[in-house]
A and B are shown apart, each in its own frame.
Chain A
Amino acid sequence: MIGMLQNLGAGALGIFERLGRGNLFLLNVLMGIPGLLLRFGLVVAQLYATGVLSLLIIGVAGLFVGMVLGLQGYNTLVTYGASESLGIFVALTLVRELGPVVSALLFAGRAGSALTAEIGLMKATEQLSAMEMMAVDPLHRVIAPRFLAGMIATPLLAALFSAVGVMGGYFVGVGLLGVDEGTFWSQMQDSVDLYDDVMNGVIKSVVFGFVVTWIAVFEGYDAVPTSEGVSRATTRTVVHGSLAVLGLDFVLTALMFGDN
């Protein structure tokens, strides 16, 4: 009985300790960001690794998600003779939900895991300790540029996802299924609001980018410096990052769209 309680207590303490370490870590990284503006080249190099290399998967995924939305939405809407509303359906789904969420999930899998593995291996091969020996703070030199790059890249990737998705929905809806082109765009423009929908989608993706990148760099920095520890940390990045995105999405949606 006592043993069970002890396990429970130890587990809870472990979680809180990790949370505390994560927050202190975040604070330190954020303090390193202003210094980065003087050495923006570091961020550019990371933007290439996280953003440019994710372009292909985000673009292809967005196109196919949009095409599937067009196809499925048409099949449902045509039953009610409302196939003209396909544009609204595709655009609102993408801009409000799927754009930010799916691109953040893909980002966690494509870029987050790479970040964790890279930083974890740096730790395992004692490169981070070597930096500290040379009086270079690895949080400022290694972690902060990656963190900032991830936060810049996600909103851009989410916007690309939504835009390509709308084009995919357009190809299927207007090109293949014969929805009227003008109605497709005009109904979409009537119903999608720049601030309520597009801007809230961008805010969502900024939050997701923040959380996913934070989890990714923290897991890497906090990994047990063995090959097994790094592989576990990489798995945790993808799992926890995805769960955090899905959970936060519900909270953000309730806050943004809950009252109408």
Chain B
Amino acid sequence: MEQSKTVQVWVGVFVAIGIASLFMLAMKVSNISALAETEGYELKLKFENIGGLKVRSPVTMAGVVVGRVAGIGFDRESYEAVVTVRVEQKYDNIPDDTSASIYTAGLLGEQYIGLEPGGSETYLKPGDTFKLTQSAVVLEKLIGQFLVNKADE
């Protein structure tokens, strides 16, 4: 086939771009993406109830995102949720009496973990578990409690 090389190259570029877009849609936009491992160290938290917390939810301290949820598991012995968070390497001075709570961004927004630093001089090391945690607020429980309190009056 007497065909100019430029045409063939451009068609090659076109097909490559199309396939790359499909690949990006599959990997980045839809749910099979392999989690991008960021630099950092892992800490563990145990919660009675994690509500709507998801993998890759933010972990904040004083409102600043310091890390992300890396994994969510379940402890067979204590029937608690075990949340693994990956904290960025530069925030390596989290006191070991820091308390962690699950908050909601906005009324119906996504849930995230908020850290409140304690006063301890010793810092959490990679793999450590937080001692103080507070579970997510489940709206139905609150309403149920409110109704029971009203009925008691």
Contacts and interface: CB of A to CB of B under 8 A. Distances in A.
B11 A44 contact: yes
B14 A52 contact: yes
Interface in A90-149: 91, 95
A180 B111 CA distance: 12
A183 to B, nearest CB: 5
How would you classify the secondary structure of chain A's contact residues: helix, strand, loop or mixed? helix
B21 A194 contact: no
Contact of B108 (A82, A159, A162): A82
Contact of B25 (A47, A182, A187, A198): A198
B57 A186 contact: yes
Contacts of B54: 186, 190
Contacts of B56: 182, 185-186, 189
Nearest to A49: B7
B8 interface: yes
Contacts of A41: 1, 3
A163 B24 contact: yes
Interface string B15-30: 1011111101110111
Contacts of B30: 189, 192-194, 197-198
Contact of B29 (A81, A160, A198, A202): A198
Contact of B10 (A52, A91, A185): A52
Contacts of A95: 25, 29
A51 to B, nearest CB: 5
B107 A162 contact: no
Given A41-B1, A41-B3, A182-B58, A156 B17 contact: yes
Contacts of B26: 194, 198
A160 B17 contact: yes
B81 interface: no
A155 B25 CA distance: 13
A82 B107 CA distance: 8
B110 interface: yes
A52 B29 CA distance: 25
A51 B108 contact: no
Contact of A55 (B17, B32, B110): B17
B55 interface: yes
Contact of A157 (B18, B24, B25, B107): B18
A182 B17 CA distance: 26
A47 B11 contact: yes
Contacts of B149: none
A166 interface: yes
A188 interface: yes
A81 B30 CA distance: 24
Contacts of B3: 41, 44-45
A82 B109 CA distance: 5
Contacts of B17: 55, 156, 160
B106 interface: yes
Contacts of A192: 29-31
Closest 6 CB pairs between A and B? A156-B18, A41-B1, A81-B106, A186-B56, A163-B21, A159-B21
Given A186-B56, A188-B29, A194-B26, 9 more contacts: A44-B8, A51-B14, A84-B110, A163-B22, A182-B57, A183-B110, A186-B54, A189-B30, A193-B31
Interface of A: 39, 41-42, 44-45, 47-48, 51-52, 55, 80-84, 91, 95, 153, 155-157, 159-160, 162-164, 166, 180, 182-183, 185-194, 197-198, 202
Interface of B: 1, 3, 7-8, 10-11, 13-15, 17-22, 24-26, 28-33, 54-58, 65, 68, 105-110
